[in-house]
Structure 1
Amino acid sequence: MGSTVQEGIYHIVGIGMEKAPALTKRAPGLSAQKIIDEIHNVNGIAILAHPAWSLDRASEVAKLYGIDGCEIYNTTSGLPWNCRPYSGVFFDEMALLGHYLPCMAADDAHHYTGDETRSYIMVQADELTREGVLAAIRANRFYATQGPNFRVEIENGTVTVHTSPVQEVVFFTDTVWAGDRATVGENVTEATYKVQPTDTFVRVELKDKDGNCGWSGIYPVNKK
């Protein structure tokens, strides 16, 4: 569903719904919060799609309640079909406002000219069923990727990434400078980052030799 009132342009995806939400497309006064609430009313998961493409402002999105996930990458928003497929800066701005959105990727395939089966989430489900997958998504047991398989560990102030071979591992935080922020090389399978006293969050991005990316969720750090 889409909301186009003065608060901004929001495309919100509902998954796992038990029935159709009580929403009418382009209804007068249809707000983003109304869409989120109605998705929840039918036991659905509300996902904010392509915020960079929509030019959604973090300061406005932060006023909404109940967003269950957000796309960090949307294939069809990229070339040659469109623009602004990547929303990493939006995630960082939301984290600065204290909102740690679960990080998703999707194709949003419209054309089927290469925009399909490119970006997705890897889910740690107990069973390969609809219920098992939805339970894992609700529990935030997933990461977004286009190919790299990885896991993130945080222990004693150090963030460690174990990954399939990639060429780049980058740790994004709200500290301006950190010397170990990026690990670049051939067939990188592990990278570490020492959490800085000024960090309040960490997230990880990876890229393999073919340009396929992976994106972790956001991890709060130095929280008391």
Structure 2
Amino acid sequence: MIDTFSAPGRFWRGNLHTHSTRSDGVLPPEEVCRRYAAEGYDFMALTDHFVGRYGYPITDTRAYRSNRFTTLLGAELHSGALVNGEVWHILAVGLPDDFAPSHSPEFKPVANQETGPEIAARAVAAGAFVAVAHPQWSGLTLADARSLTAAHAVEIYNHGCHMGCDRGDGFGIADLLLSEGRRLSLIATDDAHFSEPDHFGGWVMVKAEENSPEALLAALKTGLFYSSQGPEIRALHLEDGAVEVECSAASAVIVLGHGSAGVAVHGHSMTRARVTLDPRCVASPWLRVTVVDAAGKRAWSNPIWKG
């Protein structure tokens, strides 16, 4: 994952989780795309709820692409029961528009439908980038998360869940899976419905040679991105028992790993930081970096695997 910063291309800013009037959002698809483009995003995925109530939509946003803004087709998939009895929420970006519906008439499990892991595996086989959506909001257990073996990523920040119910964090599940050896990436998203201030709060910065659906999707699957609420990560190097970070002005740079492993450097308007690893971080098979600015906004690297 550390190759993100040395890979060819440039960073493109995008949102991977958004809803429109094709499901339970309040704005039509063209207006959602217009607002993201006007806000300076390079791309977005409209991921309406893939349930029978809305006609199993994979919203076609190709007409709203331009020479500076593109879209990825996708959906939020729902099928099968979590341990708590609620239905799965699985983000699938890069779905073909003929992806076959599941038997999921509503936002609740029903008999004779695919399980969450089964529909996730089918989405991956169809070419999608698949993520565990808002695990804290869903009440996802570790057993649930372990069962979803086809996922590429975990949604570690969901702005809509943060603003709407203070359950936007997915790091608890993500870090446990990483510590079990699951090589997952970490995404921040909006989950925007535009019914509250749930938009423009979390995004991915994807490294690719062009702003095309094909190049972005390939980079997402490879993990060539970082996530942010505002700060930029410009370079990241692991060497000689330390992590060196170049970033936009930061007040803290934190390195985290397995279990309680974690060490931080604090300062004022830091644009470079060298974080010397303590023994717990040295022993951890993976590390990730958080950059915090003076306003408390964060950026998160994908995991760096040592072997």
Scaled by the length of structure 2, what TM-score is found?
Answer: 0.66
Give the 3 Å change call, closer, same or farther, for CA 192–82 of structure 1 in structure 2. same
User: Does the CA contact (< 8 Å) of 1:21 and 1:41 recur in 2?
Assistant: no
User: Does the CA contact (< 8 Å) of 1:21 and 1:38 recur in 2?
Assistant: no
Q: Does 1:157 align with 2:233?
A: no
State how 1:14-163 maps to structure 2 within 5 Å.
14-24=92-102, 25-26=104-105, 28=111, 29-79=113-163, 81-150=164-233, 151-163=235-247
Partner of 2:276: 194
Q: Distance in 2 between matches of 1:72 and 1:194?
A: 25
Q: Does 1:171 align with 2:255?
A: yes
Q: Distance in 1 between matches of 2:145 and 2:259?
A: 23
Q: Deviations over 1:140-194 (max 9, x none)?
A: 110110111113211233211111101121111226366xx11122101122233
Number of positions where the alignment pairs a residue of Structure 1 with one of Structure 2: 219
Q: Distance in 2 between matches of 1:177 and 1:22?
A: 43
Between the aligned residues of both structures, percent identity stands at 25
User: Does the CA contact (< 8 Å) of 2:179 and 2:259 recur in 1?
Assistant: no
SS in 2 for 1:134: helix
User: Does the CA contact (< 8 Å) of 1:104 and 1:121 recur in 2?
Assistant: yes
**How far off its partner does 1:4 sit?**
4.5
Q: Distance in 2 between matches of 1:177 and 1:12?
A: 29
User: Does the CA contact (< 8 Å) of 2:253 and 2:275 recur in 1?
Assistant: no
**How far off its partner does 1:7 sit?**
4.1
Aligned counterpart in structure 2 of residue 212 of structure 1, from 272, 275, 297: 297
**How far off its partner does 1:41 sit?**
3.1
User: Does the CA contact (< 8 Å) of 1:78 and 1:85 recur in 2?
Assistant: yes
Q: Deviations over 1:65-100 (max 9, x none)?
A: 210111110001013x11210122222111111113
Q: Which runs of 5+ in 2 are unaligned?
A: 1-76
Q: Distance in 1 between matches of 2:274 and 2:184?
A: 23
Higher helix share: 2
Instruction: Pick which of 50-59 and 4-13 moved more.
Output: 4-13
SS in 2 for 1:10: coil
User: Does the CA contact (< 8 Å) of 1:3 and 1:10 recur in 2?
Assistant: yes
User: Does the CA contact (< 8 Å) of 2:253 and 2:265 recur in 1?
Assistant: yes
SS in 2 for 1:133: helix
RMSD (Å) for aligned C-alpha atoms:
2.0
Q: Distance in 2 between matches of 1:33 and 1:21?
A: 16
SS in 2 for 1:62: helix
- Aligned letter for 1:5? A
Q: Distance in 2 between matches of 1:44 and 1:52?
A: 23
**How far off its partner does 1:54 sit?**
1.4
SS in 2 for 1:205: strand
- Aligned letter for 1:114? P
Q: Who wins on radius of gyration, i.e. which is larger?
A: 2
Scaled by the length of structure 1, what TM-score is found?
Answer: 0.88
Give the 3 Å change call, closer, same or farther, for CA 68–156 of structure 1 in structure 2. same
Give the 3 Å change call, closer, same or farther, for CA 117–20 of structure 1 in structure 2. farther
Q: Distance in 2 between matches of 1:106 and 1:185?
A: 28
Give the 3 Å change call, closer, same or farther, for CA 32–210 of structure 1 in structure 2. same
Q: Which runs of 5+ in 1 are unaligned?
A: none
